[in-house]
Amino acid sequence: MNIHELNIAGLKVENNVFLAPMAGYTNYPFRKMCRDLGAGLAFNEMVSAKGLAFGSEETKRLLYTGEEETPKAIQLFGSVPVLMRAACESEDLAKFDLIDINMGCPMPKIVRNGEGNALMEKPKLAEEIISECVKSGKRIAVKFRVGVKEGDRRAAEFAKLCEGAGACMITVHGRTRDKIYAGPVDFEQIREAKEAVKIPVIGNGGVWNDKDANKMFERTGVDGIMIARAALYRPQVFAEILEREETPFSELFPVQLKETKKLYGEHFACVFMRKMAAFYLKGRRGAAEWKRKLFSAETTDDVALYAAEIFGGSEGVKAE
């Protein structure tokens, strides 16, 4: 396994196994848990350049970080170069050491707005956005896919475009937009992107365990890996890949619940942690019945009690 410290334009990262930005999930308590389990870098969920420009409180809520989060990284999306640069230069993003531009999101709402993966179909605009953001003086990374539809081979060309515009790192998701998150990962295109540039290249897609991580490294030669959905089902995947002790859910869940409630309040914590417990149930016997009970819970205390029954343990189970 090719685990090592990574230097991103002078930014030293403890290891090269990252938590991907995931809208609606990578809030502070979840990031902290993944960092504690070994993630070398954990991205805040993506924020809108327009949202920042118009002072959206909902957007600003996504910017919260803890003092111990070092380095700090966030993902930014948008399609207007001047607004993207303004966001990078804003006080809102001043504390972040690395800003990743989303050019990979396949969701129809984002693509219809000309954002996310739609930018791969407009290379000149994509290049201008990256170049403008680089002028802010911040470290700028780009996350994109290998193409738009099956048969596309855009990864290497787009990687060179990003490097030429000034990006200091790229992350390549090994599927085309039309595949969303399903189907095999195109390791060959990720390898071609890696060979096309000199900046660090991170491989993303299909990494669920240490064997998958090793396959990504061996077949692509990437400088690091980025984990997304696997972390939602089993955040211990970071410890597994890094060969560290895996903390059980009986210890992880109560802490995550308490910190989520403390930061976001009772209602958000109840809804969010019901959802997270359902993820963590993947593969367990009786999961369907436990999910039914979880989604009937109306308070965080109810969620905590069900979680204690599911995962075991009772110490500090209430979300005080």
Cis peptide before 184 (omega within 30 of 0): no
What is the rounded distance in angstroms from the CA atom of residue 312 to the CA atom of residue 320? 19
Q: Could you list the mean pLDDT of each consecutive 10-residue stretch along the chain, which spans 320 residues?
A: 94 97 96 98 96 90 94 97 97 97 93 94 97 98 94 94 98 92 93 98 97 97 97 97 95 96 96 95 88 92 92 53
For every residue of 114-132, DSSP letters joined together read T-GGGGGG-HHHHHHHHHH
What is the rounded distance in angstroms from the CA atom of residue 243 to the CA atom of residue 280? 20
Give the pLDDT confidence score for residue 316 in this predicted structure. 39
What amino acid positions are annotated as catalytic residues?
105
What letter represents residue 110's amino acid? Answer: I
**Cα four-point dihedral sign 22, 20, 261, 250:** positive
Q: What is the CATH number of domain 249-311?
A: 1.10.1200
Q: Return residue ranges of the chain for CATH 1.10.1200.
A: 249-311
Give the pLDDT confidence score for residue 313 in this predicted structure. 59
Give the pLDDT confidence score for residue 314 in this predicted structure. 45
Kindly report, residue by residue over 223-236, the tens digit of the pLDDT: 999 999 999 999 99
Alpha helices in the chain, H assignment, sequence order: 28-36, 49-53, 57-61, 81-89, 108-112, 123-134, 155-165, 187-196, 210-220, 229-233, 237-241, 249-264, 266-280, 287-294, 300-311
- Residue-level length of the chain: 320
Count of other CB atoms within 10 angstroms of residue 45 = 18
Kindly report, residue by residue over 240-273, the tens digit of the pLDDT: 999 999 999 999 999 999 999 999 999 999 999 9
What is the rounded distance in angstroms from the CA atom of residue 149 to the CA atom of residue 309? 45
Give the pLDDT confidence score for residue 92 in this predicted structure. 95
- What's the fold here for domain 6-241? TIM Barrel (3.20.20)
Q: Return residue ranges of the chain for CATH 3.20.20.70.
A: 6-241
The secondary structure of residue 194, as a DSSP letter, is H
Give the pLDDT confidence score for residue 320 in this predicted structure. 45
